[in-house]
Structure 1
Amino acid sequence: MSSDTEQFQQEKRRSLFFLSILCFALADVRDGLGPFLGVFLQSEGWTPDTIGFVASLGGFAGMAAAVPAGAFADATRHKRFFLAAASGSIVFLSLLVLCMPHPAATLFSQVMQGIMAASIAPLLSGITLGMAGFRNFPARLGRNEAWNHAGNASTALAAGILGYFWGITAAFAVMAVMGILAIYCVLHIRPGHIDYHTARGAAQPPAEAEFRSPLTKTAYKGNPALLCFGLILLFFHLGNAALLPLLGQAAVARFGVNPASYTAGTILVAQCIMIPASLLTAKSAQRYGYGPALWCALAALPLRGLIACFWASPWSILPVQILDGVGAGILGVATPGIAARLLQGTGHVNAGLGFAMTLQGIGAALSASYGGLFAHHIGFQWAFLALGGASVIALAVLTAGRRIPSLRAALGTSQA
């Protein structure tokens, strides 16, 4: 190996290190305040259904932006800059809610956060694919998600400890620090280490593909496998997205737990499970494909709903969030991995990922209103059952979708 090649590999390993730390930092930035927002607004006198509607509007904004954001990620060479800009914007918008928890300001913040968050996933996926290539993509996704969940666990622990002494606003301070770290890391990934041809999954020579807009052909149109996979994500996230925030609100209402510490605890339990789940999913995908892991992820959610419904105790958080860690850890790796396999060679991997995440966003956006209405009008127990039942539909869609050859191949092993 020549000295130039060795130096290049050393520099690329340094860029990959910054990619890992970027995933660590984005964990607390990408989702905004997450469940902390619900308990914060609850302390300001908001009702569960009102919180749910505001969160749903933010989710719908992200849903509408997902495909254009994915297409933009395919087209641009300036992925690092736009990822840094999106991260900084989310931090600013979250701080806006802290300073002005007025309905109009909160609504504006959630809508804009939804748009910014929708751009992060395809930009990060494109950078990762461009650095790792298709062959190493599953393994790199596993490492990305492991760092992501380590970041979630660390920031949840920090927010819980600080929140015990200074209240729920400590979560905002932790998020601001992670935002600064994310911007620092993304700007230290060298552009030369990203293959922008591979980053969009193009099969044609770079000279032909480089400047063609992804919007000139819609790889997701007429693709039943991608549509089926998107519907699976829709129904899963219809049940999943609101379960943790409602569990935190129920514990505060029923048992008078400290909202900041308890919410941080719910996140911490799940994130500690997601780290090994992500790494095991990456290894499993290379040997057995994504199919077995996807089945496990979808089956975990109904069990969470049943436990949350029938075990009225603050300690129910342990099994509920252990199962959450299994499901989320798997899907964090499987979602971009399956999308990349379905669209490999089209040059529109990130646009297709955006399409799948649009359907995922529909489910996540409806989840807060869906669960919040049950909780407000019937009770938290029925809300947990309704949320868990949504994943049963996802399992049915997956069973039917395996008849589609391209989806069956994407869920199986790949030699690419």
Structure 2
Amino acid sequence: MSYGPSLDWLNFLLADVRGGLGPYVSVYLLTEANWDQATIGAVLTASGLVGITLHTPMGMIIDATRSKRALIVAGVAALSVCALAIAWRPSVPVVLAADIVMAALGGLFAPTVAAITLGLSGPGELAARIGRNVAFDRLGNLAVAALAAAVGTAVSLTAVFYLVPFFAVLTTVAILSIPASAIDHERARGLDSKAAAERPGPPAGWFKLLTYRPFLLLAAVTILFHFANAPMLALASQKLALSHPGREAALTSSAIIVAQLATIPMALLVGQADILGRKPLLVLAFLALPARGLLFSYADGAAWIIAGQVLDGIGSGLFDTLLPLVLSDIMRGSGRYNASRGIIGTIQGVGGSSSHVFAGAMVVGVGYGWAFMALAGIAACALVLVVLAMPETKPKDA
């Protein structure tokens, strides 16, 4: 594949576009727009729930269109408009509409980049390319965190929103440097282009996805993984804040950075999945999560909790990188790769959103230790399911 550098920049810059806005919205609304916490929570929750429901339709659109570059360009343009709208007019109707659009775009960027990668990658290239995609995405996250912190401190919090259109322009240059003719759109939706030419016909009905046993198993372990994983950092941050008053921001930032740094080598390790196999790496990812929950249930010191975030980098880094690769194995020949990615995205959102209520109730009822133990137990169930039921999906020709 001759467009590797373009994909590297695309993933790096898209991380900047996405990451340059989301974490700052609630802080901006609270400190600059003088919103109360209840209104902020209601607006962000409502928009998030709408966004979850749109992931599957987004995947179907990505499967159907041959204008995948245009989806990226239109998406970053829409995100820029949303960022500027929030900065210029932070009223409830404007912010709600902008946040719904941003939540919907959450189901567009990563799947479209994955589809383009699939359409550009030849035999034996996909695992290494997906690993590089995630590694550059994580580097972008770290870069934008540093840049946004510097701009927000030196200029103003409002100035952070202007980074989004700046990076959107650079992202547009990166995606347009990949010619449309270089993307095999049949392969990008999970079809074998040669077989499709020999036996033309419509892709499999998308309801048929629900009959694919490996897909159903992947969906089951995905919702368990995200249910167990989503609240862990928030609970660990609360635990740190209670035991180290006045150092909350620094310790939470340290925990996030450690996890992001650990993710990068894990993403590159997935590049060897054609040699190591998919399942051993999946087992390692699902082993790291209950181990992290058990550590957090007993550890009180900041050093232990921050060090435990290495396990987050291992678990999330491996699973997030493996997911599009395993899906491409499972959906090979179906023509519904992106629809399946949308369904999995919805499942991730449901698992992650619902677990916060469960974890909060556990903390109130029995304390942090037992809450982490419960999350570790759910993660252990996912591990058992992966070990006993999930097949090795590596193609024979990989």
TM-score by length of 2: 0.84
Aligned to 2:352: 364
Distance 2:322 2:4 in 1: 20
Cα distance change, pair 34–349 in 1 and its aligned pair in 2 (3 A): same
Aligned to 1:220: 209
**Residues 227-279 of structure 1: per-residue CA shift (max 9 Å, x gap):** 110111111111223333454455456522364x5554433222211111111
CA–CA separation in structure 1 for the residues paired with 2:40 and 2:382:
26
- Counterpart CA distance in 1 for 2:317 and 2:325 is 13
* C-alpha distance in structure 2 between counterparts of 1:216 and 1:343, whole Å: 12
* 1:116 and 2:105 are equivalent in the alignment: yes
**Alignment-derived partner of residue 181 in structure 1:** 170
Q: Partner of 1:275 in structure 2? A: 264
User: Are the counterparts in 2 of residues 309 and 381 from structure 1 also a CA contact under 8 Å?
Assistant: yes
The one-letter amino acid paired with 2:397 is Q
Alpha-carbon deviation of 1:414? 3.8
Residue 397 of structure 2 corresponds to residue 415 of structure 1: yes
Structure 2 CA distance for partners of 1:399 and 1:278, relative to 1, 3 Å: same
Match of residue 185, structure 2, among 182, 196, 211 = 196
Which residue of 196, 206, 214 maps to 1:205? 196
Counterpart for residue 381 of structure 2: 393
- 1:168, distance to aligned residue in structure 2 (A): 5.8
Which residue, 284, 292, 303 being the options, matches 1:304?
292
Cα 1:266/1:185, change in 2 over 3 Å:
farther
CA distance in 2, matches of 1:296, 1:315: 23
Q: Report the CA distance between 1:208 and its aligned residue.
A: 6.3
Deviations 1:54-100 (A, max 9, x none): 65544433332222211211111100111222233334435555556
Residue 335 of structure 2 aligns with which residue? 347
In structure 2, the CA distance between the partners of 1:297 and 1:90, relative to structure 1 (3 Å rule), is farther
Q: Secondary structure at the match of 1:135?
A: coil
Contact kept? 2:279, 2:392, Cα under 8 Å = no
Kept in 1, the 8 Å contact 2:16–2:140? The answer is yes
Query: CA contact under 8 A between 2:258 and 2:307: conserved in structure 1?
Result: no
Q: 1:215 to 1:105 in 2, by over 3 A?
A: farther
Q: % of aligned pairs identical?
A: 31
1:374-408 CA distance string (max 9 Å, x none): 55776655554444443223223324423xxxxx1
Contact 1:52 1:369 in 2 (8 A): no
Q: Distance in 2 between matches of 1:310 and 1:366?
A: 24
Q: Does 1:256 align with 2:209?
A: no
CA contact (8 A) 2:20 2:161 kept: no
Q: Choose the corresponding residue for 1:293, options 259, 262, 281.
A: 281
**1:118 Cα deviation after fit:** 0.6
The 8 Å contact of residues 16 and 144 in structure 2, kept in 1 or not, is answered as yes
Match of 1:4 in 2: none
Residue 129 of structure 1 and its aligned partner are, at CA, apart by 0.5
Number of the residue aligned with 1:83:
72
- Match of 2:185, as an amino acid? Y
In 2, Cα distance between equivalents of 1:35 and 1:382: 29
Q: Measured at CA, do residues 298 and 166 of structure 1 come closer, stay the same or move farther in structure 2, by a change above 3 Å?
A: farther
Contact 1:53–1:369 under 8 Å retained in 2: no
1:307-327 Cα deviation digits (max 9, x unpaired) = 444433444452232111111
Q: Which residue of 2 aligns with 1:6?
A: none
Distance 1:373 1:86, change over 3 A: farther
Q: CA deviation at 1:300?
A: 1.7
The one-letter amino acid paired with 2:351 is G
1:255 partner SS: coil
Matched, 1:129 2:112: no
Cross-structure match for 2:127:
138
Quick one: which amino acid aligns to residue 415 of structure 1? D
Q: Structure 1 243/200 Cα, relative in aligned 2: closer, same or farther at 3 Å?
A: same
Q: Which moved more, 1:363-372 or 1:182-191?
A: 363-372
RMSD between superposed Cα atoms in Å: 3.4
- The TM-score, its normalising length taken from structure 1, stands at 0.81
Q: Which of the numbers 47, 50, 59 marks the counterpart of 1:61? A: 50
Deviates more, 1:151-160 or 1:291-300: 151-160
CA contact (8 A) 2:79 2:164 kept: no
1:156–1:264 contact (8 Å) kept in structure 2:
no
**CA–CA distance in 1 between the matches of 2:86 and 2:374?**
30
SS in 2 for 1:133: coil
**Measured at CA, do residues 252 and 387 of structure 1 come closer, stay the same or move farther in structure 2, by a change above 3 Å?**
same
Quote the residue 2:317 is aligned against: 329
1:162 and 1:362 mapped to 2: Cα distance? Answer: 34
Q: For residue 246 of structure 2, what is the amino acid of its counterpart?
A: G
Structure 1: 5+ residue runs without aligned partners? Answer: 1-11, 403-407
* Residues 55 and 368 in structure 1, CA contact (< 8 A), matched pair in contact too: no
The amino acid that maps onto 1:66 is H
Which amino acid is 1:278 matched to? A
